[in-house]
């Protein structure tokens, strides 16, 4: 009887160990980086070099044999493609025109008519100085129209109350003179119509920049704050952004549409962002890409913090705790030991 019990216990322990060891090891997220000093000089990009850098990234990230197949693996022929840029930095710190052109060229090679591709941000002020030309680039350049550019049916409710201003969908205009501040405030935001209805797949192309209110104006920030109204409640220079930005990104309108993240680090800004602050910028001459927006933000923030430390600036990562929360929501990996950075050379 004792031998039988011992045998049963032995089998139970063995089966348990085998079950544990047979489980596949968790996979790491990969962030690809390509650096080339020839890509930018005195704030001027080299179109040929930048184009090649973008191609190398998409080939590495998709594992495809040529650029056409690489982009075709990310989007299907029936998709309506959008490229979400960052234009808050004006002439010097908008997502570089050459980066966007390289992305568009790849999508066109994969069968998408240039005229159907939407390149957008909340506002496009300064974008002409950054090299963009409406009507000549071939693709659509769109800003989010104040008030009318937001979708009444694509609603985001959060406990944090925000003061509505001109441009927000529910702003009461001159009626505010007859109302108290609380009566012209709201806990509701609306997604832009571009995001909710005009695009089905998105290439997320932020710049490599600090956000003084949200830690980093990276992949998560670029798809959330600029795409909603009543957004100031999530960007108030405190811990408000800790969970909210991750929860906004998790909305299917964003999380299920973004298929690729390409961060423009040709110039990196480590303070004062996302607005232009050349005194806190460096010619980094590097582009990053990943399927994982969380991992890419984590790697970028680490590098930006290093530059801040050299400049004797305080750490800003506390404002970007939403990156770790995004990992908890299953949007990607934020732990350093779960991220692999692959440098793919010049």
Percent of the chain with pLDDT over 90: 77
Cis peptide before 274 (omega within 30 of 0): yes
Instruction: List domains and CATH numbers for the chain.
Output: 29-343 (3.40.50)
Q: Mind listing the pLDDT tens digit for each residue in 237-277?
A: 555 556 899 999 999 999 999 999 999 999 999 999 999 99
Q: How much is the pTM?
A: 0.90
Residue 11 has pLDDT above 90, yes or no: no
Contact yes or no for 30/290 (Cβ under 8 A) = yes
Contact yes or no for 259/201 (Cβ under 8 A) = yes
Res. 15 pLDDT band, cuts 50 70 90: very low
Of 116-125, 166-175, 199-208, 330-339, the one with minimum mean pLDDT is 166-175
Res. 184 pLDDT band, cuts 50 70 90: confident
pLDDT of residue 2: 43
Q: What is the mean pLDDT of residues 147-175?
A: 89
Q: What is the mean pLDDT of residues 207-224?
A: 96
Residue 20 has pLDDT above 70, yes or no: no
* Distance set, CA 210 to CA 90, 124, 135, 220, 318 (Å): 15, 20, 32, 12, 12
Q: Mind listing the pLDDT tens digit for each residue in 28-47?
A: 999 999 999 999 999 999 99
| Most confident listed range (90-94, 175-179, 219-223) | 219-223
Contact yes or no for 144/122 (Cβ under 8 A) = yes
User: What is the maximum span of the chain, computed from C-alpha positions, in angstroms?
Assistant: 88
Contact yes or no for 169/161 (Cβ under 8 A) = no
Three-class SS of residue 51?
Answer: helix
Q: What is the mean pLDDT of residues 17-29?
A: 63
pLDDT of residue 241: 52
Residue 7 has pLDDT above 60, yes or no: no
Contact yes or no for 244/322 (Cβ under 8 A) = yes
Mean pLDDT taken over the chain: 90
Residue 183 has pLDDT above 70, yes or no: no
In what helix (H) or strand (E) does residue 160 lie, and over which residues does it extend? strand 150-163
pLDDT of residue 304: 98
pLDDT of residue 23: 58
pLDDT of residue 176: 46
Alpha-carbon gap, residue 115 to 13, rounded angstroms: 63
pLDDT of residue 334: 97
Rg (CA), the chain: 22
pLDDT of residue 237: 57
CB count in 10 Å sphere of residue 42: 5
Residue 198 has pLDDT above 80, yes or no: yes
Alpha-carbon gap, residue 117 to 147, rounded angstroms: 23
- DSSP assignment of 303-328 equals HHHHHHHHTTPPP-GGGGTHHHHHHH
N-to-C CA span, the chain: 70
Given CA atoms 148, 153, 158, 159 in this order, what sign does their dihedral have? positive
């Amino acid at each position: 009887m004792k031998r039988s019990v011992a045998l049963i216990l032995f089998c139970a322990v063995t089966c348990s160990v085998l079950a544990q060891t047979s489980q596949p090891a968790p996979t790491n997220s990969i962030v690809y980086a390509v650096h080339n000093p020839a890509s930018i000089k005195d704030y001027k990009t080299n179109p040929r070099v930048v184009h090649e850098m973008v191609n190398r990234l998409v080939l590495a990230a998709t594992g495809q044999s040529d650029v056409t197949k690489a982009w075709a693996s990310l989007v299907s022929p029936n998709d309506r493609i959008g490229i979400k840029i960052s234009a808050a930095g004006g002439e010097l710190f908008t997502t570089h025109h050459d980066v966007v052109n390289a992305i568009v060229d790849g999508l066109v090679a994969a069968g998408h008519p240039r005229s159907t591709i939407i390149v957008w941000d909340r506002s496009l002020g300064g974008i002409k100085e950054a090299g963009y030309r409406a009507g000549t680039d071939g693709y659509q350049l769109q800003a989010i129209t104040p008030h009318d550019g937001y979708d009444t049916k694509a609603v985001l409710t959060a406990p944090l109350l925000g003061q509505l201003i001109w441009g927000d969908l529910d702003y009461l205009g001159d009626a505010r003179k007859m109302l108290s501040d609380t009566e012209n405030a709201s806990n509701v935001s609306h997604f832009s119509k571009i995001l909710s209805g005009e695009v089905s797949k998105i290439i997320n192309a932020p710049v490599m920049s600090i956000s003084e209110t949200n830690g980093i104006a990276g992949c998560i920030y670029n798809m959330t704050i600029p795409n909603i109204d009543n957004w100031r409640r999530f960007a108030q220079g405190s811990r408000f952004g800790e969970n909210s930005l991750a929860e906004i990104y998790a909305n299917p309108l964003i999380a299920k549409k973004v298929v690729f993240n390409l961060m423009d680090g040709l110039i990196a800004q480590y303070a004062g962002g996302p607005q232009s602050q050349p005194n806190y910028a460096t010619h980094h001459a590097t582009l990053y890409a990943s399927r994982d927006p969380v991992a890419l933000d984590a790697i970028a923030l680490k590098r930006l913090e290093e530059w801040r430390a050299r400049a004797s600036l305080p750490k800003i990562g506390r404002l970007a705790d939403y990156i770790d929360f995004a990992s908890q929501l299953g949007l990607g990996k934020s732990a350093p030991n779960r991220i692999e950075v692959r440098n793919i050379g010049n």
